[in-house]
Structure 1
Amino acid sequence: MEDTALLAVARQAVETSYAPYSEYYVGAAIETGDGTVFTGCNVENANYSNSVHAEELALSKAVEAGHHEFEQVAVSSDRRDGVTPCGMCRQSLSEFCDDDFRIVCEADAGPTTYTLGELLPNTITGEHLE
């Protein structure tokens, strides 16, 4: 899927966010290896530590549906500020994605694309646990 099309899906997911405390609304859209797209939005909780991030929710929904191969993820916020996945979300993505996995972020100036390896070098993998 083209970057702009995937970002449009992520932008739609922003609209379903629940962020009454931070008022920072985020949406994500992850494309699987077979082209299926799953969305997620941030869901805050008053204690913050129980909050769910948009990228995690999209990834979890895809895994729940049986997908383990992914092409790219797009992330957008209501502020179009170029938000990238946080460290926790990057680590979650690295469980299933290689360093060349594409991360498309939306800013007012247009999309910016990163690789997971750029945003999370020297990641912790299952091999470290053996």
Structure 2
Amino acid sequence: MTAKQEWLAIADNALTKAYVPYSHFPVGACLVTKEGKTYQGVNIENASYGLTNCAERTAIFKAVSEGEREFHHLVIAGNTPDPISPCGACRQVMAEFCAPEMPVTLVGEHGVTKETTVGELLPYAFTEKDL
């Protein structure tokens, strides 16, 4: 199994761990550090919908809370016919912690994928240089 296949499997496995009692729309993520360490994330819903946290942000926040700051790749998986796409909030958080050229793999049902980058997902990101 290649490293990328392993990352895809981690994100896919996360789908089973998502807490989605309201939408029934699980999302899984696998964030890979520059050193190759992986952080799994799931979406976690709340009855107060605005407090729901997406899988991508869960993975990023887990890694950052453990002291990680340099990331290599992000895989996002969903049970959607086409590759799943991150929401705007997740794109902004990715822009905060990940380089614009960092690869992002979007995954749908049956392993269908789309390769993109953080910069392609949010081309005019608001970052620290804008402050």
**2:123 is the alignment partner of 1:121:** yes
**C-alpha RMSD over aligned residues:** 1.4
TM-score (norm 2): 0.92
Report how many residues are paired: 129
Bigger shift: 73-82 or 17-26? Answer: 73-82
C-alpha displacement at 1:2, in angstroms? 3.6
CA contact (8 A) 1:4 1:111 kept: no
Q: Is the 8 A contact 1:42 1:52 kept in 2?
A: yes
Gap regions ≥5 residues in structure 2 = none
Shift of 1:50: 0.3
Instruction: Give the structure 1 partner of residue 71 of structure 2.
Output: 70
TM-score, structure 1 as length reference:
0.92
- For structure 1, the residue ranges without an aligned partner over 5 or more in a row are none
Over 3 Å counting, the alpha-carbon distance change for 1:40 and 1:21 in structure 2 is same
Deviations 1:55-111 (A, max 9, x none): 001001101111000001001113353112111101101111121111101123622
Identity of aligned residues (%): 36
Give the aligned partner of residue 16 of structure 2. 15
Counterpart AA for 1:79:
T
CA shift, 1:3, in A, is 3.0
2:114 corresponds to: 112
Q: Please give the alpha-carbon distance, in whole angstroms, between the structure 2 residues aligned to 1:40 and 1:93.
A: 14
Task: Give the aligned residue type for 2:55.
Answer: A
Which protein has the bigger helix share?
A: 2
For 1:61 and 1:35, locate their aligned partners in 2 and report how far apart those are by CA, in whole Å. 15
